[in-house]
């Protein structure tokens, strides 16, 4: 078996300049399509055929619910928990809870304040927080057995989005952007939206490039202003800007002619044209006013609570249509240490309809098959209540020991549940999965083999899932 460490034996990306043509390809976004893939194919010429499979999905939308939605309140109903409300955790379950801080095993159990209903043909139970998403349940593959050991937000977000808690490795989005290449000539390949940034601060590592070149990082987009710096200063008109760009080009080409051959200088000249296209077309892509009223309504844009996230979900669809491959929609504030009922109701009210609208819209446009949608937070929440609060003030602490995520589209077999937690929702008792398993699965859906997606850093061919991770095969039926 080929170890990822000796993949690409002849390719040593210079750790320093000047760059080779290969480096240039890797480091510039000049609309050359799948750069990493091209590079890998080139390296594989004459060697064993690439393991990369034909992809179902071309795009990914990660709905990142930061703060940690409680699994027992969303997608993992526990009747026993309802019965044992206020009781201590039974020994039989407590013994299996990993000894990590704030595991809450010594607190009292807390029944979910939300009811559960069966939806769709599959009859999967979804809490009444998500009546709209519930209607799409036959598209969802719910994984109830996620777990890791990081009980705090920052490192938790890092492990959920980069694979390690330290936060110094590339985000999965950056890996995907690197692996898939940017199809769009006019937009960044990986776009990030932040919404409801109350609660734990967003971790830049979650969309950062790590050791990958900077162009693979997520571009944080303001849902009002769009791609940063695409707004032209008022001192310019379209014509004066064009004249200016022509002047820059004229000067740069003279300079290049004097210098002779130089890929970097050529790339920089080209970047001005790409920037210009981005400036002119990005605002159009982000302008949702042209969408029909029905579509806007579908995303909940007509209602106060859902307007912000709805708009972002709609923009996500438009970005997908315009060739942006990786999108992260971050919704913060799920960190319900107290008053979980009020907190989760507010959060679900803001996101349920937009998410269901997005799934429906992608489906009706035939985009769902080629777009992987993933929903989840950095961890779940304890089945017990936190502290001594009573009544409606009760909340739950962080719990990475067992939590739920779901996937849809992108070749995912919907209407199924994978894995299970114990009777109270504490720890997985069947098919436990790590964030790295989820990452491997997401990459797989996009046609990327975790072991063959390599980037050389400090003389090591790095892969996205460096500490393990297996594709969850049954996700794809």
Using the contact rule CB under 8 A, the part of the chain among 38-46, 225-233, 307-315, 425-433 near another protein is 225-233
Considering only residues 147 through 186, tell me which ones interact with another protein, judged by CB under 8 A: 151-155, 157, 166-168
Using the contact rule CB under 8 A, the part of the chain among 76-84, 129-137, 235-243, 285-293 near another protein is 235-243
Considering only residues 19 through 48, tell me which ones interact with another protein, judged by CB under 8 A: 19-20, 27-29
Are the CB atoms for 202 and 64 separated by under 8 Å?
A: no
Q: Which of 58/169 has CB closer to another protein?
A: 169
Considering only residues 331 through 390, tell me which ones interact with another protein, judged by CB under 8 A: none
Cβ–Cβ contacts within 10 Å for residue 467, how many?
Answer: 11
Are the CB atoms for 404 and 143 separated by under 8 Å?
A: yes
Burial of 149 (0-12, 13-18, 19+ CB in 10 A): middle
Q: Which of 163/210 has CB closer to another protein?
A: 210
Beta-bridge partners for 328: 62, 192
Going by DSSP bridges, is the β-strand pair 59-65/116-119 parallel, antiparallel, or unpaired?
A: unpaired
Using the contact rule CB under 8 A, the part of the chain among 125-133, 207-215, 289-297, 349-357 near another protein is 207-215
Cβ–Cβ contacts within 10 Å for residue 187, how many?
Answer: 27
Considering only residues 238 through 257, tell me which ones interact with another protein, judged by CB under 8 A: 240-241, 243-244, 247-248, 250-252, 254-256
Residue 68 contacts another protein per CB under 8 A: no
Residue 431 contacts another protein per CB under 8 A: no
Q: How far is the CB of 424 from another protein (least distance, A)?
A: 21
Q: How far is the CB of 2 from another protein (least distance, A)?
A: 16
Q: How far is the CB of 134 from another protein (least distance, A)?
A: 32
Residue 2 contacts another protein per CB under 8 A: no
Q: How far is the CB of 304 from another protein (least distance, A)?
A: 26
Q: Which of 253/364 has CB closer to another protein?
A: 253
Q: What is the DSSP string of 327-375?
A: EEEEE-----SS-HHHHHHHHHHHHHHHHHHHHHHHHHTT-STTEEEEE
Considering only residues 264 through 323, tell me which ones interact with another protein, judged by CB under 8 A: 264-265, 267-269, 271-272, 274-276, 278-279
Helix (H, G, I), strand (E, B) or coil at 257: helix
Q: Which of 22/56 has CB closer to another protein?
A: 22
Residue 330 contacts another protein per CB under 8 A: no
E strand or H helix that includes residue 221: strand 219-221
Are the CB atoms for 456 and 450 separated by under 8 Å?
A: no
Q: What is the DSSP string of 59-88?
A: EEEEEEETT---GGGTT---HHHHHTTTSB
Going by DSSP bridges, is the β-strand pair 420-421/428-430 parallel, antiparallel, or unpaired?
A: antiparallel
Considering only residues 77 through 106, tell me which ones interact with another protein, judged by CB under 8 A: 100-102
Helix (H, G, I), strand (E, B) or coil at 238: helix
Are the CB atoms for 138 and 415 separated by under 8 Å?
A: yes
Q: Which of 114/178 has CB closer to another protein?
A: 178
Beta-bridge partners for 146: 403, 433
Residue 228 contacts another protein per CB under 8 A: yes
Q: How far is the CB of 454 from another protein (least distance, A)?
A: 15
Residue 415 contacts another protein per CB under 8 A: no
- Which one of residues 6, 10, 17, 388 is an interface residue with another protein (CB under 8 A)? 17
Residues that bind another protein (rule: CB under 8 A) add up to a total of 74
Angle between helices 435-445 and 172-180 (to 10 degrees): 20
Q: Which of 279/416 has CB closer to another protein?
A: 279
């Amino acid at each position: 078996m080929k170890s990822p460490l000796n993949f690409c034996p002849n390719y040593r990306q210079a750790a320093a300049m000047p760059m080779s043509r290969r480096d240039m390809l890797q480091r510039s976004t000049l609309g050359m399509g799948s750069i990493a893939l091209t590079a890998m194919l080139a390296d594989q010429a004459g060697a064993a055929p690439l393991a990369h499979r034909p992809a179902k999905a071309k795009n990914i939308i990660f709905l990142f619910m930061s703060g940690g939605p409680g699994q027992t309140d969303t997608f993992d109903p526990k009747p026993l928990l309802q019965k044992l409300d206020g009781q201590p955790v039974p020994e039989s379950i407590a013994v299996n809870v990993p000894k990590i801080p704030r595991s809450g095993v010594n607190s009292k159990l807390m029944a979910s304040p939300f009811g559960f209903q069966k939806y769709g043909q599959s009859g999967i139970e979804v809490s009444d927080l998500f009546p709209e998403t519930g209607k799409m349940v036959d598209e969802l593959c719910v994984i109830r057995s996620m777990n890791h050991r990081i009980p705090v937000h920052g490192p938790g977000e890092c492990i959920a989005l980069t694979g390690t808690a330290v936060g110094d490795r590339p985000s999965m989005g950056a890996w995907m952007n690197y692996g898939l290449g940017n199809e769009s000539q006019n937009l960044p390949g990986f776009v990030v939206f932040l919404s409801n940034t109350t609660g734990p601060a967003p971790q830049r590592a979650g969309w950062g490039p790590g050791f990958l070149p900077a162009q693979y990082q997520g571009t944080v987009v303001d849902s009002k202003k769009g791609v940063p710096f695409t707004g032209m200063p008022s001192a310019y008109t379209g014509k004066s800007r064009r004249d200016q760009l022509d002047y820059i080009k004229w000067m740069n080409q003279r300079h290049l002619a004097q210098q002779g051959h130089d890929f970097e200088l050529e790339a920089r000249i080209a970047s001005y044209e790409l920037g210009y296209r981005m400036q002119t077309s990005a605002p159009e892509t982000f302008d949702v006013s042209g969408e029909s009223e029905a579509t806007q309504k579908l995303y909940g844009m007509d209602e106060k609570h859902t307007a912000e996230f709805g708009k972002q979900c709609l923009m996500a669809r438009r970005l997908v249509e315009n060739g942006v491959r990786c999108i992260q929609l971050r919704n913060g504030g799920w960190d319900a240490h107290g008053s979980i009922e009020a907190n989760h109701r507010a959060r679900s009210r803001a996101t349920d309809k937009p998410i269901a609208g997005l799934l429906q819209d992608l489906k009706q446009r035939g985009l769902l098959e080629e777009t992987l949608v993933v929903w989840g937070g950095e961890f779940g929440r304890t089945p017990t209540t936190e502290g001594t609060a009573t009544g409606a003030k009760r909340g739950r602490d962080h719990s990475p020991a067992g939590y739920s995520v779901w996937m849809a589209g992108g070749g995912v077999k919907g209407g199924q549940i994978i894995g299970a937690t114990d009777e109270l929702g504490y720890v997985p008792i069947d098919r436990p999965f790590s964030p790295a398993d989820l990452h491997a699965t997401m990459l797989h859906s996009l046609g990327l083999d975790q072991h063959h997606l390599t980037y050389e850093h400090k003389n090591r061919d790095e892969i996205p899932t460096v500490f393990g991770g297996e594709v969850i095969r049954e996700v794809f039926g």
